[in-house]
Chain A
């Protein structure tokens, strides 16, 4: 028994402790979302009683259109994730497979540009979108498309370097063989190289989706109309007025908002470890 503990058991102890720390706020949220009292105080006894009322109320409040926030966040997040992976993959492929003038300078510039987060430039972003407002209202202030465009503007800085690394691990012999068989460079890219790195692309897309979902500053800068806001902006304003009064509804909102990402993470978990550390210890 004692030897078992020394060899393996204490590891379980550490593991269980870590799991408890990781999980307990989430358990609290689940309990609060089901607790009929609905206030912060009333939620402190875990699973004392349960009701589905908060979930119904969540979708019936015209002042706080949670359903619309959810759809907005999903739409903006998906568009950004797919767009930025595509743009990043194209750029990464160019840097990985072609030799051209300004290639090295381009890579260094991207690395440098990436260090200036768009967050720091929100004064300038605000003015830029106000200027677009007069001419192209479709991508001006208050537009979800405008918000996606801002996020996509940051795509190259974040993703190119990473993607180039992934493409470098795909042997060049593969595309050369395809080229000899008459495939165009576009066919090589879309039909051969992209499918080979697909799992990693999914992870990058997921992380980009999460980052988009998490953005508060730029989203609140661009979107003023409650019907067009994202979850981060909407839920922040929802809970910052009257702390604890609508806690049950808020907790229900938190769970539904987090659910897609939680599910995707479990689903892609195997690739996430690989995607985060791809090739890290090869040399």
Chain B
């Protein structure tokens, strides 16, 4: 089971460090290994070499943000490791570097994206949207001259080589406007067929890549209004121009034929006065719209609240029930008098050791309505719809998750019980407490304090237990009445997944907003729980 690790610090009393101890005292430099120094130099050299390669690649790609980040990171790493100072930083730097890129950055990005309308139809910035709108509405320019052209390739990329009337030659490819070419190769008819680095495609190659070539659109200039060249036959190119025109200064798009003017709206699309919208739009900040829609939009609020309640129930039961079972098993099986308790333990931990995704997939087969083992063999041919009836599906995912989780709870309860010092229980016995009283008033309270942080971690883990749900039911059975795709066993996390990647209408901004809500809930519960268990106070 992928239980997140318990984040519990051992409850050692905070140590007092005398001022003279630890790193403040200069260590005598008697036999500092030369090997250590050499290792350090070699590792630093490798890192710097990789960094230089990365910086060059980023500069060539004009990715200045990443260039800046890498440059700052490289300078920092060199500053930390080159000298003898900054000892703690030497231990922290590698982890922190990865943490900043793959955790902090993505969290911040998610936080920002939650306030945008990012998603299908709003995928990029405004210039890209203008270019796409104009490209979508291009038609052949009537009576425009057809120029000799040929299809050329460099690696996987195909381009169009166009011969102008004055025999000068220009080359461009998808997304890259036409540019003059030096030293082209002409055929007998005076048509350029190849350029340095670009090879002519043979007739059969053109036939093989016909679809790609017929969709090839080479912009004339960077200005989307300038139109494009396209080829229908592979030997000539014709000019295409949009029926729409974009006015830079006024920031409007006008229909050349009807004169309709489309203006940008605050939600990131060009719209006509009559409400007609041009697709695609672009990404804009929409403030709290996503959160507002989740909480107030009738279509979304209902399913969202249902999923929210179920997520709490699922996480709560997935902690409480296995913990109860684990506690009972631990108390019953703990004790040296019980012969074979080691064998019991080895066998009971099997579901914990069995990877959870495999367990879920196996149970999904065993609970199959028509062919599954549970119905066919255990229930003698019954047809109980374990995973396809809304309430039975909820019951089934809980049962399976209890099966996956109880050995972990059994293990931590066993560990905590064994760690209770014998003197404590003996003292209680001497004071006249019975076996049951010792258990109720001594052992269980001690055990609870010990395992609370792990229970909180287990709750947080199950709150986001995507695997069990996705592998067992896929969140289903689907709710046919809900306006968004959502099923009876969907947790918030699988709802996020469906919003972001499921179906035809991907809503990244909305998915990020739900992510933020999940984070707030989990963080609040964890902080409150850890506060109460005093783990926060003991971190020094």
Contacts and interface: CB of A to CB of B under 8 A. Distances in A.
A63 interface: no
B58 interface: yes
Contacts of B57: 135-136
A264 B61 CA distance: 46
B141 interface: no
A119 B17 contact: no
Contact of A214 (B8, B107, B355, B377): B355
A124 interface: yes
A36 B113 CA distance: 52
B88 A8 contact: no
A173 B333 CA distance: 39
Nearest to B494: A217
Given A8-B337, A123-B500, A124-B109, A152 B54 contact: no
Interface in B362-395: 362-366, 368, 370-373, 376-377
B98 A113 contact: no
A2 interface: no
A12 interface: yes
B412 A276 contact: yes
A257 B105 CA distance: 34
Interface in B479-498: 493, 496-497
Nearest to B333: A15
A223 B361 CA distance: 20
Contacts of B446: 281
Q: How large is the interface on B (under 10, 10 to 19, 20 to 34, 35 or more residues)?
A: 35 or more
B103 A239 contact: no
B471 A14 contact: no
Interface string A149-192: 11011111111111011101100100010011011111101000
B521 to A, nearest CB: 10
Nearest to B534: A283
B169 interface: no
Given A44-B373, A123-B511, A187-B33, A94 B92 contact: yes
A182 B31 contact: yes
Interface stretch (A50-58, A64-72, A126-134): A126-134
B331 to A, nearest CB: 10
A165 B106 contact: no
Contacts of A161: 7, 9, 539
B510 to A, nearest CB: 10
Interface string A92-126: 01100111100110111001111111111111110
B28 A19 contact: no
B25 interface: yes
Contacts of B9: 161-162, 164-165, 168, 279
A121 B110 contact: yes
Of A112, A135, A235, A247, which is in contact with the most chain B CB atoms at under 10 Å from its CB? A135
B540 interface: yes
A232 interface: yes
B113 A124 contact: yes
Nearest to A251: B362
Interface in B411-462: 411-412, 414-416, 418-421, 446-447, 449-451, 454, 460
B104 interface: yes
Interface stretch (B264-272, B298-306, B338-346): B338-346
Contact of A114 (B7, B91, B359, B416): B7
A231 to B, nearest CB: 8
Contact of A115 (B61, B355, B460): B460
A45 interface: yes
B350 A269 contact: no
Contacts of B371: 39-41, 44, 243-244
Nearest to B500: A123
B326 to A, nearest CB: 10
A276 B415 contact: yes
A217 B106 contact: no
Contacts of B79: none
A229 B112 CA distance: 31
Given A115-B460, A120-B515, A165-B10, A12 B338 contact: yes
Contact of A121 (B17, B92, B109): B109
A198 interface: no
Contacts of B540: 104
B10 A127 contact: no
Of B1, B5, B337, which is in contact with the most chain A CB atoms at under 10 Å from its CB? B5
B168 interface: no
B466 A90 contact: no
Nearest to B408: A276
Contact of B347 (A19, A111, A186, A254): A19
9 contacts: A11-B338, A22-B350, A94-B91, A116-B523, A121-B106, A156-B103, A239-B365, A243-B368, A280-B11
Given A104-B539, A283-B11, 12 more contacts: A94-B91, A100-B89, A120-B493, A121-B106, A123-B508, A128-B102, A152-B98, A187-B33, A214-B467, A250-B365, A277-B454, A282-B419
In the A-B complex, the 4 residue pairs with the smallest Cβ-Cβ separation, listed nearest first, are A153-B102, A279-B10, A277-B415, A265-B353
